[in-house]
A = this chain, B = another copy of it.
Amino acid sequence: MRKVVIGQAGGPTAVINASLVGFLENVEDTNVYGAIKGFQGLVEDDLVHIKGDLLKRIKLYHSIPGACLGAGRYNMDEEAMGKAVDNLKCQGINTLVFIGGNGTMWALHQLSKRAQYIGYDLQVIGIPKTVDNDIVLTDHAPGFGSAARYVATSVRDISKDLESMSNFEQVRIIETMGRNVGWLAASSGYLKNSDYDGPHKIYLPEQILYSHTFLKDVKDIVKDVGFATIVVSEGVHLDEHAVVEKAIVNGRKVLGGIAEELANIVQKELGLIARNEQLGMNQRSNQFSVSLQDRKEAYEVGKQAAVYMQNDLFNIMVAINRSEANDYSFQLHSVTLDKVGEGGERHFDEMFIKNPKHYYQWLTPLVGADIEPFPTMITRRETNEKQFNRS
């Protein structure tokens, strides 16, 4: 019987477990083992046989955030790669399936090459997951829709809160995830109803932000609107400086802090009260805001990996095609791991930067058409004309 190892890697998403369950529910005549804590499980030979009670318990995790096998980050250097392949060979594993992002696809490609080099016939398949939407050769990847839904609704809600607090604080700088790509930050404008509503400006990592431009933006918005809701991606470069980092862990930069820096500049230079906040881990884990379409697609890419496994495809990642017709539909196909790995980070589309409306149309099926903008509020500007004294 075929022996397969499946693992989850990188930062989790709110729907990553649906991909795992999609795979497990569609394999036949196969012994499936789970890699505990992603690549670490491969290197340390920490595998668990998924059957019986454990299989039942994993299925309970279909709609639960976090990676239920453990994911995380592990430094896959040459030595670690070697150990992982040796362990898999030693256990007689035929197939390696991993759910992950860009870095995972690159690592899978390396593992595949290494197995080939030592004459070990290992079938390798990648299942995409992301909150940043930075994977190339797929229209989008599961995890992003739910994260975008959280960002869009949170910024809408937080901006309404600020609007009613403008005599206490005038500016909020909201920081989103997204590393070096602006897909997630850009989604914050999805539920904007009018120029009056926030977010009033969105800064993407694809474009350098100059502090003089930023200060002018904020000043103009507060003058026109009375308050300013600003969204900034964690990966934005201010004045050609390096991105703001919190830490470096396992060789990986943890971004974060640009919103605080911008809020400090506003307070210092404009004398306005500015609060900053990071939308934080809820972006990739909040269960309330999961997009049902996203969860469905997460399940389907997992299921498709099982199909590809049984059809003996190898060195591929499952990818999503969007239909060109008016009604959204998607088809799955395979792309080679080397092309995904070599494609690098997928930046936010320039066409969408020029025309955000097209982006929001593109985004609708992924975040769900059930979320809506709020009507524009009763503003002081409007009420000025209706003041009691003059009525």
Contact = CB atoms under 8 A, between A and B. Distances in A.
B388 A45 contact: yes
Identify the interface centre among A12, A47, A246, A281: most chain B CB within 10 Å of its CB: A281
A300 to B, nearest CB: 22
B66 A161 contact: yes
Contacts of A138: none
A96 B383 CA distance: 20
A157 B286 contact: yes
A163 to B, nearest CB: 6
Interface stretch (A70-78, A323-331, A347-355): A70-78
A380 B46 contact: yes
A242 interface: no
Interface string A247-272: 10110101000000000000000000
Interface string A276-288: 0111111011111
A37 interface: yes
Contacts of A64: 160, 374-375
Interface string A65-107: 1111111111000000000000000010000000000000000
A214 interface: no
A273 interface: yes
Contact of A284 (B60, B68, B73, B161): B161
A172 to B, nearest CB: 7
A166 B37 contact: yes
Contacts of A12: 160-161, 164-165
A386 interface: yes
Give 8 closest A-B pairs by Cβ, nearest first: A66-B160, A47-B388, A67-B164, A161-B285, A72-B167, A288-B288, A277-B280, A157-B285
29 contacts: A11-B161, A14-B157, A34-B378, A34-B383, A37-B164, A37-B167, A48-B378, A48-B387, A54-B386, A58-B378, A60-B375, A61-B374, A64-B375, A65-B157, A70-B163, A70-B378, A72-B165, A73-B167, A73-B168, A153-B287, A154-B286, A158-B285, A160-B285, A161-B285, A246-B275, A275-B281, A278-B280, A279-B280, A286-B288
